[in-house]
Amino acid sequence: MKKLPFILVFLICSFLPIQTFAITGLGIGVRGGLIQNYKNSNLDSLPTQKDFLKNMSLVGVHLKIGTLRIIHLEASMEYAWKKKEIILEDKIKADFTINDFSLNATAKYIFSVPVVKPYLGAGAGLHRWVYKVSKGSYSVYLPENQTGLGFHGVGGLLLKFPTVPFELFGEGRYTIIQTKDKATKYTTILAGLTFNLP
């Protein structure tokens, strides 16, 4: 009975044509954007205002793997950050910084339309948050640092010309991350450029 799932997968794969899994294109690129309305209950105990993370800057790189003409797999590394001056005890001014480093995987369904192609997708990511308070050359990393698994849905537009070796995209993404007390949720607006490899 334990071998039954493996036998079923083998039989299904045997009847599918090999071309279904063919790689149709690879590409590498850069991206940037803005995270909005970052809601993390873990920040309630940190020395900053609640509207501190109304928006955060984001940059990243990605690898596109085209497995079918209408489906793209995408792996990305992204880094988001926000820095703000705060006042500690005894009216000492210091800088509070939050960093969010993430590794993401996304599957995108590309609608077959010439040049401007809409798409929808979903994926998962591993997020690492680091909180730091610094004053001059002195800095303290706070114990609230954490790692969480997140899931996201995306929608956007892909601009692709047949004779040009690169493509542009703009997308909106909604992310939910499993955190200690309450799920962290936010939206991201980003744009990027992908160079298609020969």
* CATH number for 69: 2.40.160.20
Indicate whether 7 belongs to any domain: no
Number of domains in the chain: 1
pLDDT band at 162 (very low <50, low <70, confident <90, very high): confident
Whether residue 33 is contained in a domain is answered as yes
Task: Indicate whether 192 pLDDT > 70.
Answer: yes
Residue 121, in any domain of the structure = yes
Q: Give pLDDT tens digits for 8-65.
A: 445 445 444 444 444 567 899 999 999 988 876 666 666 555 566 778 899 999 999 9
β-bridge partners, 69: none
Please check whether residue 83 lies inside any domain of the structure.
yes
Q: Are 82 and 46 in contact (CB under 8 A)?
A: no
4 lies in a domain? no
CB burial class (10 A; 0-12, 13-18, 19+) of residue 130? middle
Can you say whether the dihedral through the CA atoms of 83, 54, 192, 24 is positive or negative? positive
**Quick one: pLDDT at residue 47?**
56
Cβ(90)–Cβ(64) below 8 Å: no
Give domain status of residue 11, yes or no: no
For residues 150-157, give the mean pLDDT.
96
Q: Quick one: pLDDT at residue 144?
A: 65
The confidence band for 135, taking pLDDT boundaries of 50, 70 and 90, is confident
Domain interval for residue 81:
22-196
- 122/106 Cα distance (integer angstroms): 6
In-domain check, residue 8 = no
Q: In angstroms, rounded to a whole number, what is the distance separating the alpha carbons of residues 60 and 28?
A: 11
Flag whether 77 is in a domain.
yes
